[in-house]
Every structure is written in C-alpha cells, then in structure tokens.
Chain A
Amino acid sequence: METIAKSSDRMIVNMGPSHPVTHGTLHIVLELEGEIIVKATPNIGYLHRGVEKLGENLTYQQFIPLTDRLNYCSSLMNNVGYTVAVEKLLGIQDPPRSQVLRVLCSELARIGDHLVCIGINAVDIGAFTAFLYLFRERETIYDLFEMMAGQRLHSSFTRIGGLFRDIPPEFEPLCEQFLESCPRTVDEMESLLTHNPIWADRTKGVGSITPDNAINWGYTGPCLRAAGVPQDLRKAQPYLGYETYEFDIPVGTTGDVYDRYLVRTEEIRQSLRIVRQCLDRLKQLGPGPVIIEDYKIALPPKEKVYTRMESLIHHFKLIMHGIEMPVGEVYSATEAANGELGFYLVSHGAKSPYRIHVRPPCYPIFSSFDEQVRGRIIADAVSVLGGMNVIAGELDR
C-alpha cells in the first residue's frame, strides 16, 4: 500500500522498550508523518546480559544453562545447537538413542516456538482466541519437557556427549496424546485465522521481501523460506541424522507476514511428522546409553563414581578441571525455530572457551525492520514485528 504523505510535521514516537505485546525489550524509534512511518530505527541492547563474556569465564558444560535463555521460547534447540558445536570441536559423536531423542525434543521445541510466535502475532493484531487455544498445546509440551528434563521452560537437557538422562516410561503415552490433539488444535487455529478477511487484510502484502534481498540481509529460517528460498539446514546440511527422516519444507512466495504465518503453521505439521517417526524409531532402537561412555568427556554414572577409584578420579577431573579441549575453532549451525543458530567457538585448550560467539537468527532479520516498514502505517509495524519473531534474549544475548 503506498500513500503519499502530504503533511510536513514529523512526530517521533517511541515503541518500547516497555510496551505491550510482550515481545520483550525492543525499542523502535518511529518517525511518523501522520500515520505513515518515514523511518523506523530499532534500538536494541536492552537485554544484553553479557553472555559471551560470561562464557569466557565458565566451562563448556557450565555454559549450557546460558544457552537455554537465548531463545527462551524453544530452549531445547539452543541446548542441542550448542552441544552439537562442542561435540564438533571435540570430534565426537553422541550415541544413536541420544541423537533420536535430541531430534525429538528439538522438534517439540520448534512446535512450541511456532505456537508462541503465531499466538503472539495474533494477539498483537487483536485475535486473542487463537493465543488461548495454542497455549493449551504449549502446556502439554511443557508437561513433556518436565517429564524429560525436570523443568518446563529452561530444561538444560543436553550434555556434552549426549543427554542428561533417558526419557521416563510415562513420556510416550503423553506424547502420543499430544500427537493426536495438536493437529486438531492447529486446524482450529487455522479455521480462525487462515481464511479470515481481517487477518488477510492485516497481513497480506505487509512486509514482503524478494529472495535476493532476503539473502542479502542475511535472513535464514521461516522468514527466508517464506520469501521463496528453500534453505533449511536440516535438509541442506543434515546433522543428528535428519537425512533419515521424512519431512517436507514449506516454501512461500512473497515473504509477507501471511506467508510467514503459513510457513510456520505447515512447519508445525511437518515437525509433528518427525516426532511420530522419532517415537517409532525409539521403539526400534530399544534401550541404550544416552551419553557417550568416554569418561574424559561425560560424567560417569553415580554407581561407578561411588564404587570405583578410576571413575571417582574422572569425575573429579571433569568437575574441577573441565574437559580437555583441543586447540582450534569451529562454527557449527543448526536449524533453530527462527533460522540458522550458529555457535562460533574458539578454544586455546583451556577449560573455558577463549571466545564464544552466538549467531542469532533473528539479528539480521530485525536489522531489516526499517526497510520493511518504511512508507507503511503504524499498524503494519506491529504485524511485521510479530511476523519476524524477534526474541530479545537471542537478539541481545
């Protein structure tokens, strides 16, 4: 929609850093002429907690809880991404059961993130009911995480070399129940939103972007796929055995907020497919170790620590001196809910990383906000912000 601004008085309005739509602490300075945005300057850093510097003083294992709190809507994916990076640095592979479980919990976290994103996007635009329906499903996901890891939101479930523990027997029935109820809820949500003329008016044509421009801006994830580029690290550079699962990647056409919503909805369905395949595969694999049995990297089980001298020494060395890391640097990326979550680790052989850098997926996406909303009205800024799924924890670290 193009409108020509006739008036020449410009008003500067602050959107945030304390504002509704619970997006965390984002601050955008809008220069308006009437209702039309002439310039939008995002001002970030209100949640910069110093995670990267703190990582230089913690051991590799101690950094795992900090990764939880990056993209807090899908904490497990950050855990998985980070431990995959450390395992790449070490050159080890976690056992097969752990790989399947990591895929399972990543996909559950992805579903959870998309549920929140769509729910909050809807609430911003005024559709409150979708949020309540979607949050019911998210509560079931929280129950599943609590069963697996002991905590609803920040699970810190993975360890270097595998997982904290195996899933309990109550997990599978609840997961099966979730696999039945979630598609029904997503259908209900779609019946509220997809063919709703108000939703279409607010989101179609808003925030569209061409594929080349999206690549130039550094977009990855659902926003890039909505623009028409079929880039998904799970298919393009598979990790954790993703090449053995059957799933499709939804790709949009115009990249506007409506396409992003459709891509996310379809990704929820595809993730449900993957979860189904994971459950079947767990039955096939049968019981097994979920953490590597190299006690120079992973803690030995408590029975061994209390009964064998060697295991006690390994435990002591791991806790006091950390893992012995090779000297080198790696960049490892996984497909998080928002896009490519990269971890750049520089190790000088010490027990803490020399430098740890997190490449957040929503960082370049949010940097393009000005270009996306220039010339549009304020209401479109709200839709675009929701469609980008900017999580301040990962943006500012």
Chain B
Amino acid sequence: MVIERIEAQLPGAILERHAFRGDETIIVAGTRFLEVVDLIFGEGYQLLLDVTAVDLEAPDYRFEVVYHWLNLASQARLRIKVPVAEGASQPSLVSRFKSADWAEREVFDLFGIPFEGHPNLTRLLMWEDFPGHPLRKDFPLDGGDLFCSQDIGASFAPEARSLNA
C-alpha cells in the first residue's frame, strides 16, 4: 500500500520493486532516497530496524545499501535498497533516525561506504588503523594470516599435505 503511495507522490523514485516470500522490497536511486524516507516516515514507518549492505560486484554499481523499516501501527515491514557505486557516498539518516548512527558506522567500517552528514563516521567494530574493509568480497576470510588458513590437523608430520591445498 505504501509503495503505491510512493509511486503516486514521487513518480520515478522507485527503480524496481519485488516481493519474495511476503517481503516487500523497493530499489530507490540514491538521489531520491531522502524524499522517499520522509514520505514513509509520515506513513508510520518510524522504527528503522537496520542498515546493512551487500557487496554485489555488479558492473554498474558495486554495493547495495539495504534498509529495513517496521511500521508499529500496521506491523508492516518494508525493505529499501539503494545501489551505490564504488567510492560514492550515501546520505546519512542520523538526523531523522537515531538508530542509523551505529548501523551506518558499521557499514562504513565493514564495506567502506561513506555516509554524508554522519556526525561521527569512524570505525566501529574494527580498530582505527585496520587496513581494508572486511566484508568486501575481495578481502580474504583469514585477513592475510597464513597460519589461520592452514588445516591444523594435517600439520603434525612435516611431510603431511594440507587438506585445503
């Protein structure tokens, strides 16, 4: 229902919409994002549950920043995805939703997506001078630690092969 209202009042804002297993998702361009957020805030979507991102490695845009909202009155959920290119930034929602504070810092820390207008955009889960952004697909799982990715069980005998090799 709210998606119809968005389409009516902000034509062209929604790039794509789909529903899967009962979840409503809309993809909104970064430039129209804040208008859509203001509209849904007025419609009752006042609990911003989570901000996260997915590294899609798609050709035209690399990341998708994913927002989840809950409408307490109607118990409806909404997912908004915003495609973000490598190096581009996303407007911050901290001024409207305080729950965006740490969620955006975490996305910045783990993916490297900067948020414009965030009062304190510093790393949250990793330390300040950690090299790289861990949840990007090109960051190795073991962080470059050779010991971590060896199979410990196979290293008893010097001539034993690693099972992962």
Inter-chain contact B50/A45, CB cutoff 8 Å: no
Set A217, A220, A330, A340: member contacting B23, Cβ < 8 A: A330
Q: How far is the CA of A125 from the CA of B69 in the complex (A)?
A: 36
Q: How far is the CA of A342 from the CA of B23 in the complex (A)?
A: 13
Q: Is A293 an interface position by the 8 A CB rule?
A: no
Inter-chain contact B20/A363, CB cutoff 8 Å: no
Given A218-B98, A331-B23, A354 contacting B54 (CB threshold 8 A)? yes
Q: How far is the CA of A10 from the CA of B52 in the complex (A)?
A: 36
User: Among the listed stretches A52-60, A110-118, A169-177, A193-201, which one makes contact with chain B, having 4 or more residues with CB under 8 Å of it?
Assistant: A52-60
Inter-chain contact B49/A340, CB cutoff 8 Å: yes
Known interface pairs A48-B125, A89-B21, A218-B48; 11 further A-B residue pairs with C-beta atoms within 8 A, sorted by A's residue number: A44-B124, A45-B124, A50-B134, A52-B135, A57-B141, A216-B98, A218-B49, A340-B49, A344-B50, A344-B68, A355-B55
Residue of A nearest to B75 (CB): A236
Nearest 8 CB-CB pairs, A to B? A218-B99, A45-B125, A367-B102, A48-B125, A364-B99, A328-B20, A359-B50, A357-B52
Q: Is A234 an interface position by the 8 A CB rule?
A: no
**Which residues of A come within 8 Å of B, CB atoms?**
44-45, 48, 50, 52-54, 57, 88-89, 91, 215-218, 220, 229, 231, 236-237, 328-331, 333, 340, 342, 344, 346, 354-355, 357, 359, 363-364, 367-368, 396
Q: What are 15 A-B contacts defined by CB distance under 8 Å?
A: A44-B125, A53-B139, A88-B22, A216-B46, A218-B98, A220-B47, A328-B20, A329-B25, A331-B68, A331-B77, A333-B49, A344-B66, A355-B54, A359-B52, A364-B102
Closest Cβ of chain A to B26, distance in Å, is 13
Cβ of B141: which chain A residues have Cβ within 8 Å of it?
50, 53-54, 57
Residue of B nearest to A329 (CB): B20
Inter-chain contact B97/A218, CB cutoff 8 Å: yes
Q: Is B118 an interface position by the 8 A CB rule?
A: no
Inter-chain contact A330/B47, CB cutoff 8 Å: no
Q: How far is the CA of A48 from the CA of B54 in the complex (A)?
A: 19
Closest Cβ of chain A to B100, distance in Å, is 8
Inter-chain contact B134/A229, CB cutoff 8 Å: no
Q: How far is the CA of A54 from the CA of B101 in the complex (A)?
A: 25
Closest Cβ of chain B to A94, distance in Å, is 16
Q: How far is the CA of A331 from the CA of B21 in the complex (A)?
A: 10
Q: How far is the CA of A47 from the CA of B70 in the complex (A)?
A: 28
Cβ of A45: which chain B residues have Cβ within 8 Å of it?
123-127
Q: Assign chain B's interface to a size class.
A: 35 or more
The contact string, 1 if C-beta is below 8 Å from chain A, for chain B 108-122, is: 001000000000000
Q: Is B79 an interface position by the 8 A CB rule?
A: yes
Q: Is B72 an interface position by the 8 A CB rule?
A: yes
Cβ of B46: which chain A residues have Cβ within 8 Å of it?
215-216
Cβ of A48: which chain B residues have Cβ within 8 Å of it?
125-126
Cβ of B54: which chain A residues have Cβ within 8 Å of it?
346, 354-355
Cβ of B20: which chain A residues have Cβ within 8 Å of it?
328-330
**Which residues of B come within 8 Å of A, CB atoms?**
20-23, 25, 46-50, 52, 54-55, 66, 68, 70, 72, 75, 77, 79, 97-99, 101-103, 110, 123-127, 134-135, 139, 141
Closest Cβ of chain B to A243, distance in Å, is 13
Set B75, B79, B127: member contacting A331, Cβ < 8 A: B79
Closest Cβ of chain A to B157, distance in Å, is 27
Inter-chain contact A342/B21, CB cutoff 8 Å: no
Cβ of A354: which chain B residues have Cβ within 8 Å of it?
54
Q: How far is the CA of A342 from the CA of B103 in the complex (A)?
A: 14
Closest Cβ of chain A to B97, distance in Å, is 6
Inter-chain contact A357/B50, CB cutoff 8 Å: yes
Inter-chain contact B135/A215, CB cutoff 8 Å: no
Q: How far is the CA of A329 from the CA of B97 in the complex (A)?
A: 24
Residue of B nearest to A348 (CB): B56
**For B55, B97, B102, which residue has the most chain A Cβ atoms within 10 angstroms?**
B102
Closest Cβ of chain A to B84, distance in Å, is 15
Cβ of A216: which chain B residues have Cβ within 8 Å of it?
46, 97-99
Cβ of B126: which chain A residues have Cβ within 8 Å of it?
45, 48
Q: How far is the CA of A89 from the CA of B70 in the complex (A)?
A: 20
Inter-chain contact B135/A53, CB cutoff 8 Å: yes
Given A88-B21, A218-B97, A329-B25, A237 contacting B72 (CB threshold 8 A)? no
